[in-house]
Structure 1
């Protein structure tokens, strides 16, 4: 398959947080899309991939799995950070939820604390 035949959906999800006062707080209003998202979008386009960039708000794992199902994707790639076992219990793991809930293969790419990938060839 040629790169120009591959459709990439790049999805960034703003988390929606529960408020102690009831309801939810939108993080989208107070945050910016990380530069890493626009950088990867531009790099994929420069490499002749067809890329559609989407922004969503809600539970990240649910949004990723839902968008993948709606678009009938063949594969999901997610960036994963290394967390301690206690950190996974306290904060949950989006990556783990996507792996468990997805009906398609999931590839996890290691991402450091700043959101950048590791060494690239």
Structure 2
């Protein structure tokens, strides 16, 4: 069984590219397991005297306040239709740290990130989250184009 972590955001084109990249891997769908991850970024502000506790409480309840983006269900539905076993993870925190932590927690064999469209010059650079995951990950990172 080959386990892939697919962190998704709200961009449907990026998610579609991730799905197509997964489908192009040299593995039988019956031998794939996917964890779809959505990371909610913490609210990070400089609160006034009484606001620190409020911000902490708000961050703790973000997953209850915010809806999971439609892209999470989109990935789940398409991959399940392909016969791929899918589960879901969600957390609140820093995206890059969360991705590498969940990859470790679920013992993913690879992380499949969605790349952003860039100019020819910009293709040498990754987004800040992608770059940090590539640097910090202790497993292969695949960038969908």
Unaligned runs of 5+ in 1: 111-121
TM-score, length basis structure 2: 0.62
Write 1 or 2 for the structure with the bigger share of strand: 1
**Structure 2: any 5+ residue segments left out of the alignment?**
1-26
Q: Decide which structure has greater helix share.
A: 2
- Aligned equivalents of 1:106, 1:80: Cα separation in 2: 11
Q: Counterparts of 1:62 and 1:48 in 2: how far apart (Å)?
A: 30
Q: Please name the residue that 2:81 is paired with.
A: 46
Across the aligned residues of Structure 1 and Structure 2, the Cα RMSD in angstroms comes to 2.5
- Tell me if the contact between 1:74 and 1:104 (Cα under 8 Å) persists in the aligned partners: yes
* 1:63 matches 2:127: no
Higher RCO (C-alpha under 8 Å, 6+ residues apart): 2
Q: Partner residue of 1:108?
A: 143
Runs of 4+ more than 6 Å apart: none
Shift of 1:45: 0.4
Contact 1:15/1:28 (CA < 8 Å) preserved in 2?
no
